[in-house]
Amino acid sequence: MTKPLLLRHLLRGLPAILVLAAGCGSGGSSSAGAGNPLSGLQVQAWVTSADKTLLLARVADPVFTELQPVALTIDVDASQRFQTMAGFGAAITDASAWLIQNRMSEPQRDALLRELFGRGPDGIGFDFARLTIAASDYSLSHYSFDDLPAGQTDMALAGFSIDPLRAATLPVVKRALAVNPQLQLMASPWSAPAWMKSSGSMIKGSLKPEMYGVYAAYLGRYLDAMAAEGVPIFALTLQNEPDFEPGDYPGMRVDAAARAALIGQHLGPLLASRSLKTRLFDWDHNWDQPQSPLAVLGDPIARPFVAGVAWHCYAGDVSAQSQVHDAYPDKEAWFTECAGGDWAPNWAVSLPWLMHNLVIGSTRAWAKGVLMWNLALDENHGPHLGGCKDCRGVVTIDSKSGAVTRNLEYYGLAHASKFVRQGAQRIASSAAQDGVESVAFRNADDGSIALIVCNNEAQPRSFAVRFAGRQFTQQLPPQSVATYTWAAP
């Protein structure tokens, strides 16, 4: 994981009245009609402000009224529908799992996992998470699932074992699945075993071409082993950040030609032959090189095996997602990693950045799921072995007491995850205007609408939200986010 270059419910048992507002959007008008079922309907509203006086706080309910002239409007149109959402969440890294398992009491652990992955009054409903296939920089050691002494090989994978996951990662993941059986898990490797690589090490190097077949088999073994543990992996990436060779933690360079060959001739056919179909995403790296996944998708042998493209936030612009989607509209977009950290302590800058680029920007650019990096880290930004020294998790767990601090990323994600349920579809909302932008969703289970609005500006912004011939008005504090929910007629 590279350090960023840029700064980076409605409850099922309640009537569906969702609107997510995270501070940015504008819209047009529609005609009112007598007997409009929205007339007088209350909207539920939650706000997080940059000064932290409001943290996912329920505020006064707006009410739908007749249309009135308002300078800034957000027009929401449920008849225009786009991608179906898998959800929002973060990576359950080895470090995150170790802290949850070893630095929290059982009641603390249970409460945190229910809060993160559950719904109801106290849950924020993470439906999507990422696992690392063996070690990343956020592991306590640099290991693979088939480590050997230098000079040895294991082409039959006789020594393959996921035993390193049994102490912490598997128990935490299984508990998260027990809380949310709909949780979808994807997985990414940071490196092949050292004996498969040109460097002879998990650090740096590339995969030897003669090892393509055995590496595909290695990834297949991982999928089988996790399934046997009751942990199904719905999607796989070939390599985390394949255009980067970090100097102090596992990594592996796999350029576009190598990925196309490995996918088209080895991993793709292997996944296609399995009874449990695991989806394959290419790239899993930054927005600044859309030409790399485009090259893989341009390969006629590899392309049929690629379900989508995964993206990170550390360089480039979120518009790259739309560029690749426009070229291959049958291929999905997924946002799979971004970290916050001490380099970005100012909520007035970081909260709008997160909403603009990830929660709003990435989903408006076709992402079906949005993930932050570490689910949890401790007060010392770890444990980690190499890599980023000042990253923060979605939550911080005090390594002595087990106490939980909810970070900016927690609130930014929760403005979506708590209200946008798995299976929701993104619907149309107005483009950004005067520093206000938005994204809207329609939940599949009850038809409720969730609108997230972000005010990027240093001044309050007043606006109207128009839907089905009625509108409600709101004012958002500076650099704030809101979620609005309501029942559709």
CATH code at 39?
2.60.40.1180
- CB 259 within 8 Å of CB 151: no
Choose the catalytic residue: 115, 241, 409, 437.
241
User: Does the pLDDT at position 32 exceed 70?
Assistant: no
Last residue within a domain, chosen from 364, 388, 417: 417
Strand 87-91 and strand 480-486: pairing? unpaired
What is the percent of the chain where pLDDT is above 70? 93
What confidence tens digit (pLDDT) does each residue in 407-447 have? Answer: 999 999 999 999 999 999 999 999 999 999 999 999 999 99
- Same domain? For 370 and 448 the reply is no
- CATH number, domain at 176? 3.20.20.80
Tell me whether residue 134 is in a domain.
yes
Give the pLDDT confidence of 343-391 residue by residue, as tens digits.
989 999 999 999 999 999 999 999 999 999 999 999 999 999 999 999 9
Can you give the pLDDT at residue 35?
Answer: 58
Same domain as 285, residue 156 = yes
pLDDT band at residue 40, thresholds of 50, 70 and 90?
A: confident
Does residue 339 fall inside a structural domain? yes
Three-state SS for the chain is CCCCCCCCCCCCCCCCCEEECCCECCCCCCCCCCCCCCCCCECEEEEECCCCCCCCEEECCCECECCCCCCCEEEEEEEEEEEECCEEEEECCHHHHHHHHHCCCHHHHHHHHHHHHCCCCCCCCCCEEEEEECCCCCCCCCCCCCCCCCCCCCCCCCCCCCHHHCCCHHHHHHHHHHHCCCCEEEEEECCCCHHHECCCCCCCCEECHHHHHHHHHHHHHHHHHHHHCCCCCCEEECCCCCCCCCCCCCCCECCHHHHHHHHHHHHHHHHHCCCCCCEEEEEEEECCCCHHHHHHHCCCCCHHHCCEEEEECCCCCCHHHHHHHHHCCCCEEEEEECCEECCCCCHHHHHHHHHHHHHCHHHHCCEEEEEEEECEEECCCCCCCCCCCCEECCEEECCCCCCEEECHHHHHHHHHHCCCCCCCEEEEECCCECCEEEEEEECCCCCCEEEEEEECCCCCEEEEEEECCEEEEEEECCCEEEEEEECCC
Whether 123 and 210 map to the same domain: the answer is yes
**Residue 422 lies inside a defined structural domain of this protein:** no
Domain that holds residue 200: 86-417
- Indicate the pLDDT class of residue 19, thresholds 50, 70 and 90: very low
CB crowding 440-472: b at 16 or more within 10 Å, else e: bbbbeeeebbbbbbbbbbeeebebbbbbbbbbb
Residues 208 and 72 in one domain: no
pLDDT at 209: 97
Verify that 161 and 219 share a domain, yes or no: yes
Average pLDDT, stretch 17-43? Answer: 50
Catalytic annotation present for 241: yes
Q: Of the residues 356, 384, 417, which one is the last residue of a structural domain? A: 417
Quick one: 90 and 77 in the same domain? no
282-312 per-position pLDDT tens digit: 999 999 999 999 999 999 999 999 999 999 9
Q: Which of 115, 332, 337, 409 is catalytic?
A: 337
77, part of any domain: yes
**101, two tokens:** 């398992």
Provide the domain count of the chain: 2
Any domain includes 13? no
Q: Are residues 181 and 42 in the same domain?
A: no
> Has residue 95 been placed in a domain?
yes
Tokens encoding 477: 């504090």
23 and 162 part of one domain: no
In this predicted structure, the answer to whether residue 482 has a pLDDT above a threshold of 60 is: yes
Together in a domain, 339 and 207: yes
Residues 73-129 have pLDDT tens digits of 999 999 999 999 999 999 999 999 999 999 999 999 999 999 999 998 999 999 999
Residue 212 lies in a domain: yes
For 150, other C-beta atoms within 10 Å of its C-beta total 8
Is 29's pLDDT higher than 60? no
The mean pLDDT value of the chain amounts to 93
Q: Which residue has the higher pLDDT, 10 or 202?
A: 202
Per-residue pLDDT at 23: 36
Residue 2, in any domain of the structure: no
Taking CA atoms, 240 is separated from 23, 134, 226, 361, 365, in Å, by: 32, 12, 19, 22, 21
Distance CA 441, CA 447 (A): 9
**Which of 417, 448, 474 delimits the end of a domain?**
417
Q: Are residues 180 and 274 in the same domain?
A: yes
Q: Do 108 and 161 lie in a common domain? A: yes
| Cis ω for the linkage preceding 383 (within 30 of 0) | yes
210 with 140, same domain?
yes
